[in-house]
Amino acid sequence: MASLYVIPLLCLFLVFYLAGFEMQYKSGGASEYLPDKHLTLIEFLTQHKTKTKEYRRPPVEYGSYQHFIKGTLEGNSASFVYEYPLIQKIRGRSHIVMEPVETSRQADTFGMSRSVVEVSPDGFRIAPNVTSAQIQLHFNSNGWFYEDENNFGVAYHQLIHQYDSLTGKIAADLKEQLSAHNKDNYFNRVQAALNFIQFIPYGQPNFDSEEWYYYGLSLPPESFVLGYADCDSKSLFFASILSHLIPKENIVIVRCTVKSSHSRSNGAHAMAAVSDLQISGESILHNGKSYLLLETTAPSAIGSFDWVSFQLTEIRPLV
């Protein structure tokens, strides 16, 4: 008799599996990353990429917040619905469609050949005996820059424009939702974009392969589909969305060192900073202009932080 129930149950399982993937997160909830559904989607969407990436490694220090994503495979695309706080007590809801060819192109925009770098737990350095021609070739492409031996790294100002097909749609959707509530203004655009990013669960990515080094950076489409991102990945995603909502010269990405009781925001850190917000908080000066630091790592009010000390390392403007 038990066998009579097996086939219907299997069919029911397949119906739900093919109909869509549903990922739910509650405040203070899931601390374990469940990868299978995310991996099915990211591997489908990046099937045409040329750089090898190890998406199957679990994120480090994963932690979720109030967050809801539903992702569904629909023919040759994937459709997502994301629910999050928009501003104040207004809930936001975005419908995003992604396709394999464009998502694969976006995944290929960043990476460094392992042939020219030496990687350690503390980061990376240019490998010995690498020629200046090799440095110019590898460090001025694929989302990297090189000015001199003391000034090289991730070219955030170039990368933010690589994901416009995704982040432009997100920005337009945020603006439309704000307008529908008669709340569309400069401050609320920043707040809505920040909320969109803050409520993506935290997790440190490691996509490095034998051929490619990725600096622990998850690109916007990867962060969204995989459902986690760390401080610099979230800051890049946030800046890319915000660049469609406010002038790019009002946005910078900041590398810094902070002291915090929370391991996710203690030590080497990355944040975005925005000018003209007309609100008090921790600020930095760049070219005579004040920029308010914004924490993208976890949900927090604009201008508030859980760290007790801050030391600036570098400022990277977007223009």
Q: Which amino acid is at 36?
A: D
Q: Is the pLDDT of residue 289 over 50?
A: yes
Angstrom distance (rounded) from CA 271 to CA 252: 9
CB 57 within 8 A of CB 50: no
CB 267 within 8 A of CB 275: no
User: Hunting for tokens 């933010």 — which residue is that?
Assistant: 160
Q: Is the pLDDT of residue 6 over 80?
A: no
- Position 252 confidence tier, pLDDT thresholds 50, 70, 90: very high
**Helix, strand or coil, per DSSP, at residue 181:** coil
Q: Is the pLDDT of residue 13 over 60?
A: no
Which residue has better confidence, 10 or 310? 310
Angstrom distance (rounded) from CA 25 to CA 31: 9
56 alpha-carbon distance from chain centroid: 17
pLDDT, position 142: 94
Residue among 288, 279, 275 at smallest CA distance from 318: 275
- Position 263 confidence tier, pLDDT thresholds 50, 70, 90: low
Q: Is the pLDDT of residue 237 over 50?
A: yes
Which residue has better confidence, 29 or 84? 84
Q: Is the pLDDT of residue 19 over 60?
A: no
Q: Is the pLDDT of residue 148 over 80?
A: yes
- Position 67 confidence tier, pLDDT thresholds 50, 70, 90: low
Q: Is the pLDDT of residue 314 over 80?
A: yes
What would the mean pLDDT of 89-94 be, rounded to a whole number? 95
Query: H or E element: which one contains 284?
Result: strand 283-286
Q: Is the pLDDT of residue 21 over 60?
A: no
What would the mean pLDDT of 88-111 be, rounded to a whole number? 97
Question: At 96, phi and psi to the nearest 5?
Answer: -125, 130
- Position 259 confidence tier, pLDDT thresholds 50, 70, 90: confident
